């Protein structure tokens, strides 16, 4: 899609990062990822990656962080001074911590790490998350055949990322996709991914004039939303990560209208 609110430079950076991650995935030994899927836990909404034993190769992780630094500096030389001290800060011990905290998306930890070490707030989590994703994606590829649906409100059944993106495929099937680990699972056309509501009276759609391929599906019960993209109209299918990025204007619109990334049903006594 040419029309996107995201600048061409940032899109190119993301494309380069995705290419790096694809490359990194090749160096992951599939045997180092051992899924131990417990049906009971999964039906309660525990992400598959949390039930998987992943033998992280720390030296690879550290090397990837170096590679991201190089790419970021190449794209924006101004970042060189800001990223200069990272290599010295991230040793094996920190790397293990970063993997754990990135996996559980612990923004508080990364913010305090940045503050303690005089880094800009976005840097540690961005690096850790970018270097963690190849492991999550290989895990998703390994367990994909077991992933048929998700538990409403539990997010991605593989990595736990909040569900926010669906694509329409083939005969109009709605397939939820995760821009983080690239797992996908089927969903009903009229169904809220956050609270499981399937009442057609309380599920609405917001469309953008002139944008014939996108819809925002909103739930009046939990005020959650997801983006639904009709990729059948596309000339070529972009990766979920790029699709999520290029449709970020839909997130702005939905949130301006008062809808949330994670819907919550209000409890009343």
Contact residue for other proteins among 53, 148, 233, 268 (CB under 8 A): 233
CB atoms closer than 10 angstroms to residue 136: 29
Cα dihedral 87→92→94→100 (10° resolution): 130
Here the tokens at position 254 are 């939905």
For residues 187 to 216, the per-residue mask of contacts with other proteins, x marking binding by CB under 8 A and - elsewhere, is -------------------------xx---
Backbone dihedral region of 138: left (phi > 0), alpha (psi from -120 to 50 degrees) or beta? Answer: alpha
Write down how long the chain is: 269
Contact residue for other proteins among 104, 234, 252, 264 (CB under 8 A): 234
Q: Is the distance from CB of 109 to CB of 94 less than 8 angstroms?
A: no
Contact residue for other proteins among 1, 41, 261, 265 (CB under 8 A): 1
Give min distance, CB of 1 to other proteins, in A.
Answer: 5
The stretch near other proteins (CB under 8 A) out of 55-63, 155-163, 229-237, 247-255 is 229-237
Query: Which residue matches tokens 């990822």?
Result: 33
Give min distance, CB of 207 to other proteins, in A.
Answer: 14
Contact residue for other proteins among 77, 235, 266, 267 (CB under 8 A): 235
In which element (H, E) is residue 227 found? strand 225-230
Contact flag: residue 6 with other proteins (CB under 8 A): no
Here the tokens at position 101 are 């905290």
Contact flag: residue 108 with other proteins (CB under 8 A): no
Contact residue for other proteins among 105, 232, 239, 253 (CB under 8 A): 232
Question: Could you give phi then psi for residue 6, rounded to 5 degrees?
Answer: -80, 135
Task: Give the C-alpha separation, 66 to 130, whole Å.
Answer: 11
The stretch near other proteins (CB under 8 A) out of 11-19, 39-47, 145-153, 233-241 is 233-241
Which of 165, 219, 141, 183 shows the shortest CA–CA distance to 174?
165
- Residue closer to other proteins, measured from CB, 1 or 151: 1
Contact flag: residue 12 with other proteins (CB under 8 A): no
The stretch near other proteins (CB under 8 A) out of 32-40, 47-55, 71-79, 234-242 is 234-242
Contact flag: residue 8 with other proteins (CB under 8 A): no
The count of residues interacting with other proteins (CB under 8 A) is 10
- Residue closer to other proteins, measured from CB, 31 or 171: 171
Q: Cβ contacts of residue 81 below 8 Å, gap of 6+?
A: none
| Residues in region 130-189 near other proteins by CB under 8 A | none
Contact residue for other proteins among 81, 148, 236, 268 (CB under 8 A): 236
Contact residue for other proteins among 3, 8, 200, 266 (CB under 8 A): 3
33 forms bridges with which residues in the sheet? Answer: 54
Helix (H, G, I), strand (E, B) or coil at 207: strand
Burial of 181 from C-beta contacts in 10 A (0-12 / 13-18 / 19+): buried
Helix (H, G, I), strand (E, B) or coil at 204: strand
- Residue closer to other proteins, measured from CB, 122 or 234: 234
Residues that bind other proteins (CB under 8 A): 1-3, 212-213, 232-236
């Amino acid at each position: 899609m040419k029309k996107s609110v995201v600048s061409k430079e940032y899109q190119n950076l993301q494309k380069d990062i995705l290419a790096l991650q694809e490359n990194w995935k090749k160096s992951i030994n599939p045997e180092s990822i051992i899924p131990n899927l417990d049906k009971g836990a999964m039906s309660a909404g525990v992400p598959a990656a949390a039930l998987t034993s992943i033998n992280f190769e720390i030296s690879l992780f550290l090397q990837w962080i170096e590679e991201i630094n190089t790419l970021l500096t190449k794209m924006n030389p101004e970042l060189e001074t800001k990223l200069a001290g990272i290599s010295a800060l991230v040793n094996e011990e920190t790397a293990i911590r970063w993997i754990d905290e990135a996996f559980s998306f612990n923004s508080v930890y990364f913010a305090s790490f940045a503050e303690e070490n005089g880094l800009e707030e976005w840097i540690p989590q961005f690096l850790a998350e970018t270097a963690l994703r190849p492991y999550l994606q290989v895990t998703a590829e390994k367990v994909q055949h077991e992933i048929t649906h998700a538990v409403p409100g539990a997010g991605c059944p593989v990595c736990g990322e909040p569900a926010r993106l669906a694509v329409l495929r083939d005969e109009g099937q709605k397939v939820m996709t995760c821009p983080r680990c690239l797992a996908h699972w089927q969903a009903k056309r009229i169904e809220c991914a956050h609270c499981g509501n399937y009442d057609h009276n309380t599920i609405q759609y917001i469309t953008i004039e002139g944008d014939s391929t996108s819809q925002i599906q909103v739930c009046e019960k939990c005020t959650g939303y997801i983006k639904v993209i009709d990729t059948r109209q596309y000339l070529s299918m972009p990766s979920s990560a790029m699709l999520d990025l290029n449709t970020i204007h839909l997130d702005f619109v939905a949130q301006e209208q008062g809808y949330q990334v994670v819907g919550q049903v209000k409890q009343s006594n």
